[in-house]
Structure 1
C-alpha cells in the first residue's frame, strides 16, 4: 500500500514558511526520535538554506535510547546541533534555550555593528504533523498559547509567541512533502501518527510493524502478547487478535481491531522503546 497525504493547507504552509524565514534568526526543526530520518522533510533543507538550525529529537521517551544516541552523533558529525527532548517532562529544553541564546547573541552583535537596535531572538518551529511543535512552544513559553492535539493537522496558520527569555517563536503548520519516494518512509510516518488515520490501512501497517519487530526486536512481541514469533505477520495478527478477544458476530476474528490495538500500543510505548529508522 502507498502512504501519501498532502492536503491543500500544506501547500499554503510551505509558502508561509518561505515568506517568513527572513524574519527569524534560527530554526528549531523537530524530528520524531523513533524516525529521525523519515520525519525529515527533504524540502526543509532547500527552504532553510544556511539559516542557523537546531534539530530536536522529540518523543525520545518512546525511542530506543541507544539508537537515539547514534542519531545524535550522526547529526553532530554533520555539523548540525542536535538535542533529544521529552516534551512531557521538559527534559532537554534548557539545553535548547542555551543554544538558541548563543546563536541569538551572535546575531545581535552583528546587528549592533550595523547600528540596529537589539531585539528578541526570533525562532521558527518547523516539523512534520503531530511531532510536538505546539507542545514545545507551550513548554518554552511556560503557558498554554499554542493549540495541541494527538492528531496531525491541528495547527493551520502561523502564530507568534513571546517568552520571558528574550525569545520570540513562530509556530507553523506541520508540513509533509508531495511524494514519498520510499514506500517504507510512508509506512513509518503513518504508524507513528504523522498521517491521518482515516486514510491509512491499519492491517497493512500492522503487518509491516510485526515484520520489523520480529527482525529487529526479536522476542518483544512475544513478551507483550504471549504469542510465539515463529509465524508470518498475517498469522501473528490473527493470533494476537484471538488472544485479545477481538471477535465479530459469528466468532469471526476482527483483524482490524487487532491491527488498531497493535498500532495504538506501539504509539503509546506499551511495546517498549522502539526506533524504526536504523543507522547502518
Structure 2
C-alpha cells in the first residue's frame, strides 16, 4: 500500500518546526505506544541535534505492557532520550511530564528565563489531549480523527514552562512498508487515504500470529484460523458482515476489525516489537542494496548497448586495432 497523505499544512508544519527549534530547550515527541518505531518521525530525529528529548508513549492502556517496556529500554539507549508512558485511563499521571521537563532542563529552570519546550507527534496520537491536561484548561482542539490541529501555537503552562505546540505531522515518504500499514491500522491516517481491505488483511495476518487468543475470544470462534482470509470469513459470519447470496462483505469486516483494534476492544495489543523492527531494518538495507545492484547492471547494459555476437567481435577487433596503432605510434616517437 502506498501512503498518499501529506497535506500542505503538514509540509508547512515541518518547515515551521525546523525554524523554531533553535528557540527550544527540550523536544517532546508523543508516540503511539502500540507503534513506537512507526510513529517516530525521522525528520524530527534529523534536526533534534543534542537537545534532550522526552518521548511519551501515549495510549499505553491500549498497548501490550511487556512490549512497551522493551521499547522504553530501546529508546532510552539513545543519547539524550528519556521516556514516560501516558494513557487515557490515568490522565493525572501526565502531570509528571512537567517535572521531567524541569529535571532535564535544570540549568534553565534555575534561571529567571522560561523553559521553552516543543511538542510534536503524528496525527491522532493524543497530543492535544495531553496539552489540555498539562495546561489545566482547554487549549488544543481534540478529536478522534487525524489532523485536528492545523497551526503552531505557544502555550504558557505556568511554573516557568512555555510549550510550542505543533500540528500532527507525518513525513513525505515512509521507507518501511510495514510502518505504512501500522500507521493506518492505528488510526494515524484518514479513512479516505487508505484501503480498508488492504489494511484489514495486514492487521488480520499479524493478529492471528501475535494475539490469536484475543481474536478467538472477541469474535467467539471455536478455533483461530491459520490464514487472514479464513479468519476474516469466520469473523464476518459472527458479526453478520454477509452480503446477498451469502458472500462475505470483506470491506465491512475489515472496517469492524480496525475499529475495534483502534478502540482497544480487542485487548492490549502492540503492532511491533524492537526485535521485529531490527529485522525489518536489515531487510530494507538488503532490498536497497539489491535495487542498487540491479540499477548498476541496467546502466552497464545500456552503456554497452544491445550488441549481437558479430557486432561485439567487430567492436573488439576495432578496439584491438586502435590499441595496436597507438602502441606503434608511441614506439615510433
- TM-fit CA distance, 1:104: 3.4
Distance 1:104 1:87, change over 3 A: farther
Specify the SS of the correspondent of 2:106: helix
Match for residue 106 of structure 2?
105
- TM-score of the pair, normalised by structure 2: 0.78
Match for residue 72 of structure 1?
72
Q: Which runs of 5+ in 2 are unaligned?
A: 276-333
Relative contact order (C-alpha < 8 Å, sep 6+): which is higher? 1
Report the count of equivalent residues: 273
Moved more, 172-181 or 246-255: 246-255
Match for residue 329 of structure 2?
none
Residue deviations 1:175-225 (CA, integer Å, cap 9, x gap)? 111111111100000000111111211111111111111111222211111
Matched, 1:181 2:203: no
Question: Counterparts of 1:214 and 1:250 in 2: how far apart (Å)?
Answer: 28
Q: 1:273 aligns with which of 239, 247, 268?
A: 268
Matched, 1:255 2:250: yes
Q: 1:239 aligns with which of 234, 240, 252?
A: 234
Distance 1:10 1:202, change over 3 A: same
Residue deviations 1:25-45 (CA, integer Å, cap 9, x gap)? 111111100001111111111
Specify the SS of the correspondent of 2:140: coil
CA contact (8 A) 2:27 2:118 kept: yes
CA contact (8 A) 1:152 1:193 kept: yes
Match for residue 122 of structure 1?
116
Matched, 1:202 2:196: yes
Match for residue 9 of structure 2?
9
Match for residue 83 of structure 2?
82
- TM-fit CA distance, 1:91: 5.1
Q: 2:211 aligns with which of 196, 217, 222?
A: 217
CA contact (8 A) 2:13 2:167 kept: yes
Question: Counterparts of 1:88 and 1:21 in 2: how far apart (Å)?
Answer: 32
CA contact (8 A) 1:4 1:186 kept: no
- TM-fit CA distance, 1:236: 1.6
- TM-fit CA distance, 1:108: 4.6
Question: Counterparts of 1:234 and 1:88 in 2: how far apart (Å)?
Answer: 34
CA contact (8 A) 1:3 1:183 kept: no
Residue deviations 1:123-161 (CA, integer Å, cap 9, x gap)? 111111111111111000011111111111111101111
- TM-fit CA distance, 1:58: 0.3
Q: 2:155 aligns with which of 142, 158, 161?
A: 161
Larger radius of gyration: 2
- TM-fit CA distance, 1:164: 3.0
CA contact (8 A) 1:87 1:136 kept: no
Question: Counterparts of 2:84 and 2:202 in 1: how far apart (Å)?
Answer: 29
Specify the SS of the correspondent of 1:205: helix
Q: Which runs of 5+ in 1 are unaligned?
A: 113-117
CA contact (8 A) 2:102 2:109 kept: no
Question: Counterparts of 1:101 and 1:232 in 2: how far apart (Å)?
Answer: 50
- TM-fit CA distance, 1:88: 4.8
- TM-fit CA distance, 1:87: 4.1
